Amino acid sequence: MTTDTHPKRAAVVNADGWTIGGIAKGAGMIAPDMATMLAFITTDVVADARLLQGILSEVVSHTFNAITIDGDTSTNDTVLAFANGASGVTPDVEQFSSALLAVCRSLAEQIVADGEGATKFVRVRVTGAAYEEDARRAARTVAESLLVKTALYGGDPNWGRIAAALGYSHVEGSLDRMTISIGGYELFSSGEPVASDAHAQARVALKDASQVTILCDLGAGDAFAEVLTTDLSPSYVSLNAKYET
């Protein structure tokens, strides 16, 4: 990965006359050779610093803090937002929040898409959780499972490894209400593998897919969360084994 060849940029222009722009750098969480995540967001709105920080923190929890390449958090991850007021417009808070969310989401997705050694961009979406915290933990556990990530690299729609990761994430839910889909194919439903050719179709679809969505419904409530990640390839290992301090 070189940032030169993968610039990460996003912007929203609002009809009221204000703009948000952002740039980011990624995408392994590596210290100290630093493909550290850095993101800088600028806007010309008139905004109180505390209000801006509050909105940014909320947005970050759903974007930059909802991505994982290898589970290794860098000590240097940084997201900064600057508002200079040049537009003279004090924006509608809801419009501004959703514009900031769009910019951060786009940057977070671009960081993941540029993950070290990645061959697939993976969206892990957990629904039906009892609590949002459960949904986030379950999604992150699936996203960081080496067995799930290697199966995705191999193009195997291995719902068993996903179910195992959901299990050891220790969130509320029961197997007999659990549903797992990979790439749009439902492979596990209400505690049973789906008896159809969905599995064979999912394998064909997965083989050449550069983007995959994993949907898991825990059947325990209404909360949901999404974590973005990548598959794990031998070249991730080589890249990070070759580096010398």
At residue 151's C-alpha, the angle toward residues 168 and 70, to 5°, is 65
At residue 233's C-alpha, the angle toward residues 102 and 229, to 5°, is 20
Nearer to a copy of itself, 86 or 146 (CB): 146
Rg of the chain (C-alpha set): 19
Amino acid at 140: R
- When asked if residue 161 is in the footprint of a copy of itself (CB under 8 A), the reply is yes
**52: Cα separation from own chain's centroid:** 23
Nearer to a copy of itself, 18 or 153 (CB): 153
User: Is 36 designated active site?
Assistant: yes
In whole angstroms, what is the distance from residue 228 CA to residue 245 CA? Answer: 29
Residues 68-107 that bind a copy of itself (CB under 8 A): 70-75
Report the DSSP beta bridge partners of residue 24: 8, 39
- When asked if residue 240 is in the footprint of a copy of itself (CB under 8 A), the reply is yes
User: Of the listed pieces 2-10, 98-106, 150-158, 208-216, which binds a copy of itself according to CB under 8 A?
Assistant: 150-158
Nearest distance in Å: CB 170, a copy of itself = 10
Active site residues: 36
The binding site for a copy of itself (CB under 8 A) comprises 28-32, 70-75, 144-147, 150-151, 153-154, 156-161, 163-165, 167-168, 199, 203, 232-234, 236-238, 240-245
